[in-house]
């Protein structure tokens, strides 16, 4: 296993964990456990930011930026750029939503953000799907031998 596959695999595992946290948080909201829902979302956003900062940004600069000069019309490069854009938008929106809440007990800060929460989830889900497609496109041959 090479370095980039290891980093990509760890990143994928972290993002699946974030997805599980988001689904768990959504179920907690349905059960009207709003504060615990918020804590799950906070942890999900923090884990997402950790993965972006520690794993994704360095690998993007090491693996994809050099491709701009050598093969600027590469499909993998295009998917990586859209994936990075959607993931960045989701991260900014997540920080904004969680920052507006700041672990408060009162729901008055949370309820107005509901439409943004849903949009953020869809943007983040799009980034997750593109990241998975990118992972498969880059490592398909290594995975299947």
pLDDT at 47: 94
pLDDT at 5: 82
Q: Which residues of the chain have a pLDDT value below 50?
A: none
pTM for the predicted model, two decimal places: 0.83
Q: What DSSP designation does 105 have?
A: S
Domain span holding position 39: 3-144
pLDDT at 129: 94
Judge residue 41's burial from the number of C-beta atoms within 10 Å of its C-beta, 0-12 exposed, 13-18 middle, 19 or more buried: buried
| Closest among 74, 91, 106, 83 to 8, alpha carbons compared | 83
Number of domains in the chain: 1
pLDDT at 15: 92
């Amino acid at each position: 296993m090479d370095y980039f596959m290891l980093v990509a695999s760890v990143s994928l595992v972290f993002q699946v964990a974030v997805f599980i946290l988001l689904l768990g948080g959504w179920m907690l909201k349905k059960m009207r456990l709003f504060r615990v829902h918020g804590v799950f979302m906070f942890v999900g956003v923090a884990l997402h930011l950790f993965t972006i900062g520690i794993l994704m940004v360095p690998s993007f600069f090491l693996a994809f930026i050099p491709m701009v000069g050598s093969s600027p019309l590469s499909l993998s490069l295009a998917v990586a750029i859209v994936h990075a854009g959607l993931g960045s938008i989701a991260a900014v929106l997540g920080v904004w939503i969680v920052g507006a809440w700041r672990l408060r007990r009162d729901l008055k800060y949370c309820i107005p953000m509901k439409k943004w929460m849903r949009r953020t989830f869809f943007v983040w889900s799009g980034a997750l799907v593109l990241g998975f497609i990118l992972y498969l496109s880059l490592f398909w041959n290594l995975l299947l031998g």
